[in-house]
Amino acid sequence: MPYEQLKLSTEKPVLSWAGHPLASQEIQMAKNVSSLPFVFKHVALMPDVHLGRGALVGSVVATKDAVIPAAVGVDIGCGMAAVKTPFHAKQLDGKLKKIRKDIEAAIPVGFNQNKIADRDASNWQGWQDFKNLHSGVSDLKGKAMRQLGSLGGGNHFIELCLDSEEQVWMMLHSGSRNIGNVLAQCHISTAKDLAKMTQTYLPDPDLAYFVAGTPKFEAYWHDLQWAQNYARYNRDVMMVRFKRIVEKHLAGGKPTKPLLEVNCHHNYAEKEVHFGEEVYLTRKGAVRAQEEDYGIIPGSMGAKSFIVKGKGNLASYCSCSHGAGRKMSRTKAKKQFSLDDLLEQTQGVECRKDKGILDEIPGAYKSIDEVMNQQLDLVEIVATLKQVVCVKG
């Protein structure tokens, strides 16, 4: 579906692919961002847009000579990875529970971490630059090393899926763990302090920013890129472990060659060229969808997910949604749904069936089919996946 330009009294337009009217708080958040003087051309809202911190989750913001740490978010580099395997559904018969148990044993979830950093984690080249990160994380190197190869909590997950051809896929969702969170909080706090000190007017304190060319901007940009690289490598380490487990059960432990591999951020910022100008492009809950880019758009733990290829839509800054998007808060979901609801909505999925994941129940999320229908001009669907195993944080 084409976008709708919201009727807002702001200098920069807001283009929305949501396909429905935004709530009053969402409209105000969109206005706040689009009113900032350094915002470039327009703000783009993806089909899964919903409330966030400072900026809406599902928003794409191009800026000139400034960047907003809270708009990037605290899970820097959060994103998805997926691998298409040479295996088929029939090979999974009777093995799903064993695969889930092996995943849970090999990959720490929630607040857990590896007891010791393995070789893949210890040898990551990013450690060479750790000493140059914000002083607020100077004592976190050991923890960061042990958390490489761990999932985290919330909406992070590991799934074994089948596509419409009954081909087996591996998919996971995670970010930069505690180290990314602490780095983000340090810089968000610095930006807010700077705004107070300089008496800079902001429609929302969480829109405090750094100006390009200043030492504080350079420090944040350096740490941001480091955390994004950490997040991507974290997904790589988990996928290596995940692949070994699948090969153990389906190939007798023999290594196999992936048929397709995708690894993409959806909470991050990069320098990009749009409409002929270099900008700082922040995707807060959005995936890069330049022409021929592969991306991943997951549904909830009981719904379909999609491997997509970008169409390079310029109006969206070559972006697409990062998932279905929540339609209710975690607190509301826990109040509204019961364990029986969870059992019903996750039928056919080998996963935990307890109240500890009630806030992640499929009913708390928007319809992924509706979200996909709203972005036919942004991406084409390469594969439609349905999970058969799901491990939550």
Is 322 among the catalytic positions?
A: yes
Three-state SS at 392 = strand
H or E, element range at 381? strand 379-392
Which residue type does 119 have?
R
d(CA 194, CA 32): 19
**Which amino acid does the sequence have at 73?**
G
- Angle 185-191-192 (CA atoms, 0-180°, nearest 5)? 90
156 is in an annotated binding site: yes
Q: Say if residue 158 carries a ligand binding annotation.
A: yes
Closest CA to 299 of 381, 356, 237: 381
Domains and their CATH numbers in the chain:
81-262+289-327+365-392 (3.90.1860.10), 328-364 (no CATH)
Residue 296 annotated as part of some ligand binding site: no
pTM of the model: 0.95
- pLDDT tens digit at each of 393 positions of the chain: 589 999 998 989 999 999 999 999 999 999 999 999 999 999 999 999 999 999 999 999 999 999 999 999 999 999 999 999 999 999 999 999 999 999 999 999 999 999 999 888 999 999 999 999 999 999 999 999 999 999 999 899 999 999 999 999 999 999 999 999 999 999 999 999 999 999 999 999 999 999 999 999 999 999 999 999 999 999 999 999 999 999 999 999 999 999 999 999 999 999 999 999 999 999 999 999 999 899 999 998 889 999 999 999 999 999 999 999 888 888 999 999 999 998 889 888 998 888 888 988 889 888 999 999 999 999 999 999 999 999 997
Contact 375, 47 (CB under 8 A): yes
Tell me which DSSP letter residue 350 carries: B
Give, in degrees to the nearest 5, the angle at Cα 121 between 118 and 123: 105
Is there a binding annotation on residue 159?
yes
In the chain, alpha helices (H):
24-34, 69-72, 96-106, 119-122, 141-147, 177-197, 215-250, 330-336, 339-345, 368-373
Q: Which residues pair with 384 in a beta bridge?
A: 306
291-307: b (≥16 Cβ within 10 Å) or e: eebbbbbbbbbbbbbbb
Residues 6+ apart with CB under 8 A from 18: 4, 45, 46, 47, 49, 374
Ligand-binding site membership of 299 (annotated): yes
Q: Annotated binding residue at 305?
A: yes
CA 260 to chain centre: 20
Q: Among the options 134, 187, 249, 322, which is catalytic? A: 322
Q: Which two three-digit tokens encode residue 302?
A: 């009981």
DSSP for 107-155 reads S--TT---SS--HHHHT-GGGGGGGGS-GGGTT-HHHHHHHTT---STT
The answer to whether 324 is a known ligand-binding residue is yes
